[in-house]
Amino acid sequence: MPGKSSSIKTRAARAAYVDKRLAALYPETPIPLKHDDAFTLLVAVVLSAQCTDKRVNEVTPGLFALARTPEQMMRLPVGEIARIIRPCGLTPQKSKALSGLSKIIVEKHNGRVPRTFEELEALPGVGHKTASVVMAQAWGVPAFPVDTHIHRLAFRWGLSDGRSVVQTERDLKKLFPREHWNALHLRMIYYGREHCTARGCDGTVCEICRTLFPNRKKAVRVRSK
């Protein structure tokens, strides 16, 4: 571990430390959202917007009992989808999105979840972050989805200036080896949930914050995404 008398000076050096430390803390990187295939993963990620993974994992079994394929989902009334997913919040938008994206997958993609960012992002309710999660976790394509935890940590750890999630993603992709992206974004999420939380650490408390910036005295105010 670096000495406590001074900060790790460069972004590259901080990134190297973070990469190594998180790999040691989280050698395994299971996907937090329960799913069986690319479609059930896509549905779970859409539901996870402004909702915890725990809540999504509680809701999806009931939904998938009725519709676990695009064909079944498109035939399920939107009102029924809404009834089941209500605990996840944003019910009108999410229920319409799940119905709409299922229809497009069936009609335009032969019932198969697309394998490109462009095709995924063209689906209702699927933005760049959702597409990145599916590309990384379903298809193994290197991607670096930036959620609230990653955006917060990247700023606190001096890996990005935190202007936006778009800039944070660019900065992280430049700093870390491409082959590490998929595991690393999950490791950052795990660490952010367990140690460098919004309330539990202000940039001066957790192990990595203290190691990277041992002389930091003031709380780090993370900018809006």
Question: pLDDT tens digits, residue range 143-158?
Answer: 999 998 999 999 999 9
Q: What is the C-alpha separation between 94 and 63, in angstroms, rounded?
A: 13
Which residues are catalytic, by number? 129, 147
pLDDT at 2 over 60: no
Q: Is 9 helix (H, G, I), strand (E, B) or coil?
A: coil
- pTM for the predicted model, two decimal places: 0.92
Q: Are 64 and 40 in contact (CB under 8 A)?
A: yes
pLDDT at 188 over 60: yes
